[in-house]
Structure formats: C-alpha cells, structure tokens
C-alpha cells in the first residue's frame, strides 16, 4: 500500500493536484478548500446520496411543460412556468422529497423490488393486448415513449411506496388532544346576537366618467395587461395533396402486399393453459403427476407453495420462453406436458383448450391492404415533393415559385402572437412547432423543411412582424373605461366602509351611522352557524358575526356589490352536553387532516437530516432562462 502512495506522489497527477490546492489556499486563505468537490459535475438538488442532475431536471420540466401545453392548447415557455417565484417553490418541494427518500432508505425503510413488480404487473397499460397478461416488451415500450428506463421506474416506485408506508403508519398513530375538538365545538355551536346594515355602491357614491389622462395612466400602470404582444403573419407550406387520397392502386401491388403480410394478417392458433414453475425437476415431476391424476392446478400449486400462471387464448408468439412454447403447442387439449427446463426453473403446463388458427384470405382483408398501400403511396408522394421543393430552392427559386412547381399547398397565417393568440386576444389552435419555427425567423425569411411527424413536412415563412406596443386608447377605450370604473367604485366603497366602521369603533350608535347613508339596521338574536342562516342572512353577515368579539364592529363583503357592516352584541356558549358530542365528531375529522400535516413536517425533517439543498442558478441554466435578479443591497446608514 505504501508503494502505491509513493508511486502516485511521483506522478504528474499528484503535482497537478498540489497546484490546485496551492491556488485554493492563495484564493481562500485556506479556510475553505474543496478542490475535489469543484471537479464534480453540478447538480440541481443534492440530498445525501441522492441527487438531481441538470439533465434530469430539464427532462422533468419538459414533461410538465408538455402537460401544460396540452391542457392550455398553446405553447408554454419556461419563463411563464417559473414566473411569480414558481421555480424556488418547485425546487423546495423536490429537495424535500429527495431528502426524505434518502433519509428513509438509510433508516431502513426499503420496499422490496418484488412489491414494486407485483404492482407494476397489475397496470393495464403494460398488458399484451393478445394475451391479456403483463408483457415486459410492452412495459419497456411504454417507458421509452416517456424517456424512462425500468431502473428509473423501479426506483421511483420504491420511493413512492416508502412514502405511502411511512405516511400510513404516521396517520394511524396520530391522536390529537380532545381539547382541539372542544375548542372547535365551542365555536361552531355557540350562538350570537348582533345588528348590521348593508352598504351598497349607490350609498358610497359612483365613479364619474374618467378623463383620457386617467385612462392613459391606468394603461401605463397595467402595461402587461394592455400592451399588444409581438404579432407575426406569413405563410405555411404543406406538402400533402388531397388528390393523393385517390391514387390508384394496381391489383399487382395489392396481391404482392397481401402475400408479404399474409402471416401477420392471418389469425394464429390460440391456446388456453396454466403453467406451474417448480424450483427443481423432482418437484416438477410431482406436479405433473398430480395434474395428470385430475387435481386442479390451483390445488396443486397451493400444495407446493407455488403460484399458478393462467393464460387465456394465447398465441405461440406471446410465450417468451421457446421451450415452454414448444411444449404447450405440442400438447393436445386436456394434456399435461412433461416438465420443461425453462429459463427459470422447471415448467409444467396443463392445456385446457385449443382454438384453431385461420389463414387470411385476400377478400377478407382487401380494404386493409389497400389502405396500407395508399398510405405508403401518399408518404412517397410527399417525400418526392419535398425533394423537388428543396432542389428548386437550391436553384435559387423563391418559395412561391418552388411551391407552384412541385404542387404543394400554401396556407396563409394571419397575425398571431408567440402564445398563439390573435389580435382580438382569442386563442388559436396553432401547433407549437409552427410557432416555434416562426419565432426563429426574421421578416421575409422562410424556414427549412421541418418534419411534423408521421411522414408530414412543412415550411413556414414570416412575411410581416408587428412589434409589441401599447394600443391606441380609442382601440381599447371601452374595456379600459370598464376597468377604471370598477376600480374607482371599489375604492369609493372601501373608503366609505372604513369611515362608517371607524364611527362604530368610536362608540357611535349603529342606527345613527346607518341613517347617515340611508341604510336600514337589522337586529337578530340567537344566530347559529348553519346553511339555513347563510341562505337567510348572507355569507358576509354570518362571517362577520362569528369573527368579531363582543361589542366589536365588523365589515364583510355581502353579495356582488355590498358590504355588511355591523356589531356583535352578545355571545352565548353552548351547553356542555351539546359541545361534548360535537367535540367528538370534530376530533374524528381532524385525524386525517392532522396526519397530513405531520407527514409534511416529517418530509421536511427528513430533508434536514439528509442535508438536502438546491441550486437555483444551475436549475435556471438547465432551462436556458436568465439568472434570477439579485436584490439590491440596502443603503448604508450614514
């Protein structure tokens, strides 16, 4: 071992490391030297032995963005997704999750892979449509569609199970003190007395007609709401032609395609059977003998502590093990196969039924074959037009000239924003890839040929760009006036409310205060919190009565344009018998809610134990967005 260290000390790598350490000492003064740490790749989140790389983080956000785009029917940028502080909140949540997973694993909370696989095998999405059973091929295919690997899914599933197991145990043991239910019962079952009146807009005064200057000021203060975004218009070149759907298909091609696809179009022989997998040959022989003696497969499996695997109407191609497939399809109906050494253990199969296959006839699948050929011909025609278009463009022809030459279609694109809205702010169903291509071009330029998937291609050209700008007041006068009036009315109503509540707080009689604005006072005793009371008195009155102390005034929104203003004159507590029954009910309701709160606290505690942290700068770099603005330093006191 000593010789190894001596050899390393003489190598160029040791010299390089000493140079790095020396530079670190010069820069930091020796207080914090983490040379080897600086050589590690950056991470967005680090939690114990768990981490989230920039690539993994970008993949997560790409999936979230795709979901939002599908829900909203328009392109969504990362800038929109992380606006209003959304990124730190997301990173905080993921940091706590990874930190908890790291802590749980180290604490011994480790769900087995067998549990995960048992649950995955129940997912219908992973079933083979022919066999109706779990298919490893279908499982891996579905994962590839969403850029996942089996190892990743198993790890995430184990993490989810650890959360479920921990949360279930925590919730089962959570018990709140009875005083919690008693406090709420006292609040919900008490009755109150009070007086109130409703202040409406006409009493508070209505806003006058605004001046142009006031409207311009409102637009300036709300620039994001009123400014028009950049609009672009142009043309979309499509290479498919409706006439392609009527391309003639010769009989020779139909027959040739049928001959080529005959095996796939035919219905294969299917068999129903049950397999039992034994760990050794002796057990397999015993199982085969019991099955031949007429015992049910379930009983034989139970006697040997095995799990039977039933297969219904299964073709030979769906059996993954060739040896088992040969044995099953070599047996007669009602026959039990001899033990077969499979990839795992020894398999015995009992065949219960056989459904003969049926060879396909051209007359039965003719239309299907024609549609396959027509689709192939259409894709070929599109590909030829694309090649001819690109050749014409290389010869120096304009987009319009090339389009006319090859017989493509041109669809005009009316003014549209990057978010897919027209000048009337209506959402247009524009594909995201077309908008993305348009915003990569300058005015008057056309894109290269872009694949739209499924054998389709397009070219987009930008003919005109209208920069973002504030609209003329006359163009939006009605809408701006409506906003200004609503805001001014709300201000007047709020100011009058503050004035009247202030008078009540200073001890003025509520009848005098109400009379000053022409309102009528309502006085009620023994009001309870109930749906009937809400329907009769209104939500604002009920909330006000039960949120203020005795003798204190209250003000709450009432209806669409009113404010309930009043004073609580009496509070009567419930009797012990009534409160006790209500307290028990509330304590039962609090259980799940409290368990959730405990669980969230435990998640955060696990993250603390794992020293979990996140790096927002690396996250922003992974998304390709601008760094967060650094808050200005506070001014120094003189």
Residue 184 belongs to some domain of the structure: no
Q: What is the pLDDT of residues 414-443, one digit of tens each?
A: 999 998 888 888 888 888 889 999 999 999
Whole-model pTM: value is 0.46
Longest pairwise C-alpha distance within the chain = 102
C-alpha span between 384 and 378 (Å, rounded): 10
Handedness of CA 318, 321, 322, 324 (dihedral sign): negative
- Collapsing DSSP to helix, strand or coil, 444 comes out as coil
Same domain assignment for residues 459 and 388: yes
Q: What are phi and psi of 103, to 5 degrees?
A: -65, -45
Domain end, chosen from 358, 381, 411, is at 358
> Which residues, other chains included, contact 129 with Cβ-Cβ below 8 Å and sequence gap of 6+?
none
Ranked by mean pLDDT, which of 146-150, 367-371, 532-536 comes out on top? 532-536
Ranked by mean pLDDT, which of 52-61, 412-421, 494-503, 568-577 comes out on top? 494-503
- Burial environment of residue 104 by CB neighbours within 10 A (0 to 12, 13 to 18, 19 or more): buried
Count of structural domains, the chain: 5
Residue 381 belongs to some domain of the structure: yes
Q: pLDDT class for 638, splitting at 50, 70, 90? A: very low
Q: What is the pLDDT of residues 89-112, one digit of tens each?
A: 889 988 988 888 888 888 888 887
C-alpha span between 607 and 566 (Å, rounded): 48
Q: pLDDT class for 518, splitting at 50, 70, 90? A: very high
Q: What is the pLDDT of residues 184-242, one digit of tens each?
A: 767 777 889 999 999 999 999 999 999 999 999 999 999 888 888 999 999 999 988 77
Residue 453 belongs to some domain of the structure: yes
Q: What is the pLDDT of residues 454-512, one digit of tens each?
A: 778 899 999 999 999 998 899 889 999 999 999 999 999 999 999 999 999 999 999 99
Q: Residue by residue, what is the 3-state secondary structure of 248-304? A: CCCHHHHHHHHHHHHHHHCECCEEEEEEEEECCHHHHHHHHHHHHCCCCHHHHHHHC
**Confidence (pLDDT) at 493:** 94
Same domain assignment for residues 54 and 167: yes
Same domain assignment for residues 22 and 84: no
Same domain assignment for residues 271 and 354: yes
Handedness of CA 419, 423, 425, 426 (dihedral sign): negative
Q: Residue 545: which CATH number?
A: 3.10.50
What is the percent of the chain with per-residue pLDDT over 90, rounded to a whole number?
35
Q: Residue 548 corresponds to which tokens in the numbers above?
A: 């203020």
State the residue range of the domain holding 545: 191-204+499-572
Residue 199 belongs to some domain of the structure: yes
Q: In the predicted model, what is the mean pLDDT of residues 26-41?
A: 43
Q: Are 334 and 297 in contact (CB under 8 A)?
A: no
Same domain assignment for residues 434 and 315: no
Rounded to the nearest integer, the mean pLDDT of the chain is: 81
Q: Are 273 and 343 in contact (CB under 8 A)?
A: no
Query: For helices 576-609 and 86-106, what crossing angle results, to 10°?
Result: 80
Residue 480 belongs to some domain of the structure: no
Same domain assignment for residues 160 and 58: yes
Task: Report whether pLDDT(261) > 90.
Answer: no
C-alpha span between 432 and 438 (Å, rounded): 10
- Collapsing DSSP to helix, strand or coil, 414 comes out as strand
Q: Are 544 and 555 in contact (CB under 8 A)?
A: yes
Domain end, chosen from 334, 358, 382, is at 358
Residue 258 belongs to some domain of the structure: no
Domain end, chosen from 300, 335, 358, is at 358
Same domain assignment for residues 239 and 385: yes
Residue 185 belongs to some domain of the structure: no
Residue 494 belongs to some domain of the structure: no
Q: Are 460 and 159 in contact (CB under 8 A)?
A: no
- Kind and range of the H or E run holding 526: strand 522-527
Q: Residue 294: which CATH number?
A: 3.10.50.40
Q: pLDDT class for 1, splitting at 50, 70, 90? A: very low
Same domain assignment for residues 335 and 414: no
C-alpha span between 184 and 188 (Å, rounded): 6
Same domain assignment for residues 536 and 613: no
Same domain assignment for residues 55 and 168: yes
Full DSSP string of 19-84: HHHHHHHHHHTTS---HHHHTSPP-SEEETTEEE-HHHHHHHHHHHHHHHHHHHTS---HHHHTGG
**Confidence (pLDDT) at 632:** 43
**Confidence (pLDDT) at 629:** 63
Same domain assignment for residues 116 and 15: no
- Kind and range of the H or E run holding 179: helix 178-189
Same domain assignment for residues 235 and 381: yes
C-alpha span between 275 and 308 (Å, rounded): 6
């Amino acid at each position: 071992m000593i010789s190894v260290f001596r050899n390393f000390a003489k190598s160029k790598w040791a010299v390089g490391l000493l140079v790095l350490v020396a530079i670190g000492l010069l820069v930091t003064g020796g207080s914090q030297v983490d040379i080897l740490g600086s050589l590690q790749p950056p991470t967005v989140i680090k939690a114990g032995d768990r981490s989230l790389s920039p690539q993994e983080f970008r993949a997560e956000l790409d999936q979230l963005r795709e979901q939002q785009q599908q829900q909203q029917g328009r392109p969504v940028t990362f800038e929109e997704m992380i606006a209003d502080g959304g990124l730190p909140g997301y990173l905080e949540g993921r940091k706590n999750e990874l930190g908890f997973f790291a802590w749980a694993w180290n604490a011994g909370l480790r769900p087995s892979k067998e549990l995960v696989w048992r649950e995955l095998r129940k997912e219908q999405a992973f079933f083979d449509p022919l066999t109706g059973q779990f298919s490893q091929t279908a499982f891996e295919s579905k994962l590839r569609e969403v850029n996942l690997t089996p190892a990743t899914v198993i790890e995430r599933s184990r993490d989810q199970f650890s959360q479920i197991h921990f949360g279930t145990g925590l919730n089962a043991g959570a018990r709140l003190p009875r005083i919690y239910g008693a406090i709420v019962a006292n609040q919900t079952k008490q009755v109150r007395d009070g007086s109130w009146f409703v202040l409406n807009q006409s009493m508070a005064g209505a806003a006058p007609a605004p001046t142009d200057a006031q409207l311009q000021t409102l637009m300036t203060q709300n620039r994001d709401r009123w400014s028009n975004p950049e609009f672009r218009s142009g043309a979309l070149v499509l290479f498919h032609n409706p006439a392609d759907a009527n391309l003639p298909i010769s009989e020779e091609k139909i027959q040739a395609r049928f001959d080529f696809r005959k095996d796939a179009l035919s219905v294969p022989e299917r068999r129903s059977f049950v397999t039992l997998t034994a760990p050794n040959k002796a057990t397999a022989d015993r199982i085969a003998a019991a099955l031949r003696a007429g015992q049910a497969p379930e009983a034989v499996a139970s006697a040997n502590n095995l799990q039977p695997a039933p297969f219904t109407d299964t073709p030979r191609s769906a059996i993954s093990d060739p040896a088992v497939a040969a044995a099953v399809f070599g047996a007669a109906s009602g026959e039990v196969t001899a033990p077969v050494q499979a990839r795992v253990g020894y398999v015995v199969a009992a065949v219960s039924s056989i459904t003969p296959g049926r060879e396909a006839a051209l007359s039965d699948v003719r239309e299907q074959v024609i549609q396959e050929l027509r689709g192939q011909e259409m894709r070929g025609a599109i590909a030829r037009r694309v090649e001819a278009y690109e050749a014409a463009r290389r010869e120096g022809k304009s987009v319009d000239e090339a389009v006319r030459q090859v017989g493509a279609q041109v669809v005009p694109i009316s003014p549209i924003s990057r978010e897919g809205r027209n000048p009337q702010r209506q959402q247009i169903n524009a594909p995201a890839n077309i908008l993305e291509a348009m915003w990569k071009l300058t005015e008057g330029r056309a894109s290269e040929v872009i694949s739209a998937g499924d054998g389709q291609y397009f070219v987009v050209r930008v003919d005109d760009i209208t920069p973002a700008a504030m609209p003329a007041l006359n163009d939006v006068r009605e809408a701006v006036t409506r906003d200004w009036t609503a805001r001014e009315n709300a201000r007047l109503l709020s100011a009058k409310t503050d004035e009247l509540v202030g008078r009540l707080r200073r001890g003025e009689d509520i009848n005098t205060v109400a009379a000053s604005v022409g309102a009528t006072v309502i006085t009620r005793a023994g009001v309870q919190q109930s749906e009937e009371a809400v329907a009769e008195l209104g939500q604002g009155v009920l909330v006000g009565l039960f949120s203020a102390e005795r003798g204190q005034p209250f003000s709450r929104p009432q209806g669409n344009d009113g404010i309930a203003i009043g004073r609580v004159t009496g509070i009567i507590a419930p009797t012990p018998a009534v409160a006790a029954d209500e307290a028990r009910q509330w304590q039962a309701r609090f259980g799940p809610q409290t368990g959730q709160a405990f669980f969230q606290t435990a998640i955060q505690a696990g993250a603390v134990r794992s020293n979990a942290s996140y790096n927002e700068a690396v996250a922003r770099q992974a998304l390709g967005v601008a760094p967060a603005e650094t808050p200005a330093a506070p001014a120094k006191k003189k």
